[in-house]
Amino acid sequence: ARNVVKRFGKPANFMRASSLVHAVSNVSLSVRRGETLAIVGESGCGKSTLGRVLLRLLEPTSGQVFYEGTEITALGQREMRRLRRELQIIFQDPFASLNPRMSVRQILAEPIRLHRVATGRAVDERVDDLMRTVGLRSDWADRYAHEFSGGQRQRIGIARALAGGPKLIVGDEPVSALDVSIQAQVVNLLGELKQDFGLTLLIVAHDLAVIRHMSDRVAVMYLGEVVELASADNVYEAPLHPYTAALLQAIPVSNPSARGQRQLLQGDVPSPTAPPSGCRFHTRCPHARPRCTEDHPQLETAGDGRQVACHFWREIQSAGVSVPARGE
Ligand code: SF4
Ligand code: MG
């Protein structure tokens, strides 16, 4: 993605104020073949929108998206359709994303036919294969989606994404609608499928807990911007951006005695129709200084292939403060 911008709504005119939502603001990043890149941030940060723009399920307002050297934002409908089989999505809500009037066999046969993976009788065999691949019994394919549990439905959603033989799958919070006890199973399934089929995964998530063991790199988004991008190890062990540190603090801890020391992120996310001036995080940042309200920090390279958008990451890091210290 190069300088991707996505806005929704209408700009101001003499009749009314702007209702423009700045969903994604000038994001540039790359997803490497074979990796799992997680995009993490609170709701409204633009992470799902970015995921859709990268697949060109949404048109960017400006900027470019490239896939294996081809600018897909410049492709016509027909060329895009041909690429579609390689670029798939798994939706957040497995209850809403499967047509209740279709059997699972019909749901899975559709992309198989569309992408000409198989024809005739071979379609049914392919459906049966897909069912087994995602850990479901093939003879269940003739049932309807409502006959399955949430976790099973998400497996069907994953089977549908696999049907055309994809290379890149975007998972839009693929487990956040599921019971916690089921989440790990689906995360593990995604990990296995990634290995077996040589997939590249982009996983959108609203917290850092779920994706901890599956991501190679993590991009942290705040109000439409990437504020930190680094290897998962760096993000979890030594975050550079105060917002990343705050998200880490929000991960539930199992040790009750450690709970009292946690400082959760204060305040609400400001409206994306009117993002704060300067650093967009300054209204909630425990390290904010006067400069932060005026001067917008750019994503800069911080060594070790890491990127961070904060004026004071060096000072914050050398002070050994990796967690918010508001009130101290
Ligand atoms: Fe906080 Fe300022 Fe850094 Fe923004 S630039 S994260 S407000 S210290
Ligand atoms: Mg979302």
Residue nearest to atom 5 of ligand 1 (CA): 310
Q: Which of 241, 277, 279, 315 to mutate to test the pocket of ligand 1 (most atoms within 8 A of CB)?
A: 279
Same domain, yes or no, for 198 and 289?
no
Same domain, yes or no, for 44 and 130?
yes
Q: Which of 92-101, 137-146, 159-168, 200-209 has the lowest mean pLDDT?
A: 92-101
Backbone angles phi, psi at 223, to 5 degrees: 45, 50
**Stretch 32-46: mean pLDDT:** 95
Residue 16 lies in a domain: no
Q: Which of 287, 295, 296 to mutate to test the pocket of ligand 1 (most atoms within 8 A of CB)?
A: 287
**Stretch 236-257: mean pLDDT:** 83
**Number of structural domains, the chain?**
2
Tell me which residue range forms the domain holding 326. Answer: 244-254+261-328
pLDDT score for 11: 78
Residue 277 lies in a domain: yes
Percent composition of the chain: helix, strand, coil (DSSP 3-state, to 5): 35, 20, 50
Question: Is any atom of ligand 1 closer than 6 Å to the C-beta of 310?
Answer: yes
Type of residue found at 243: Y
**Stretch 301-321: mean pLDDT:** 87
Backbone angles phi, psi at 247, to 5 degrees: -65, -35
**CATH number (domain holding residue 37):** 3.40.50.300
Same domain, yes or no, for 136 and 276?
no
User: Has residue 328 got a pLDDT over 50?
Assistant: no
Residues in contact with 226: Cβ distance below 8 Å, sequence separation at least 6, in sequence order:
27, 29, 219, 220, 299, 307, 309
The more confidently predicted of residues 310 and 257 is 310
Question: Is any atom of ligand 1 closer than 6 Å to the C-beta of 279?
Answer: yes
Question: Is any atom of ligand 1 closer than 6 Å to the C-beta of 311?
Answer: yes
Q: Give the end-to-end CA distance of the chain in Å, rounded to a whole number.
A: 40
Q: Which of 36-50, 73-87, 125-139, 262-276 has the lowest mean pLDDT?
A: 262-276
Question: Is any atom of ligand 1 closer than 6 Å to the C-beta of 324?
Answer: no
Greatest CA span in the chain, whole angstroms? Answer: 69
Same domain, yes or no, for 36 and 76?
yes
Residue 311 lies in a domain: yes
pLDDT score for 257: 55
What would the two tokens of residue 215 be?
């991501």
Distance (Å, rounded) from C-alpha 204 to C-alpha 189? 16
CB neighbour burial string for 36-61, b if at least 16 within 10 angstroms, e if fewer: bbbbbbbebbbbbbbbbbbbbebebb
pLDDT score for 326: 43
Residue 226 lies in a domain: no
What spacing in Å lies between the alpha carbon of 309 and ligand 1's midpoint? 8
Same domain, yes or no, for 56 and 179?
yes
In the chain, % of residues over pLDDT 70: 93
Element holding 235 (H helix, E strand): helix 232-237
Closest ligand 1 atom to residue 313 Cα is 3
pLDDT score for 253: 64
Q: Which of 228, 243, 281, 318 to mutate to test the pocket of ligand 1 (most atoms within 8 A of CB)?
A: 281
What is the tens place of the pLDDT at every residue in 63-85?
999 999 999 999 999 999 999 99
The torsion defined by the Cα of 64, 65, 66 and 72, in degrees rounded to 10, comes to: -90
User: Has residue 324 got a pLDDT over 80?
Assistant: no
Same domain, yes or no, for 199 and 267?
no
pTM of the model: 0.91
**Stretch 272-293: mean pLDDT:** 94
Residue 318 lies in a domain: yes
Same domain, yes or no, for 180 and 313?
no
Mean pLDDT computed over every residue of the chain: 91
What would the two tokens of residue 243 be?
């917002």
Residue 229 lies in a domain: no
Same domain, yes or no, for 159 and 279?
no
What spacing in Å lies between the alpha carbon of 287 and ligand 1's midpoint? 6
User: Has residue 263 got a pLDDT over 70?
Assistant: no
Residue 170 lies in a domain: yes
User: Has residue 40 got a pLDDT over 90?
Assistant: yes
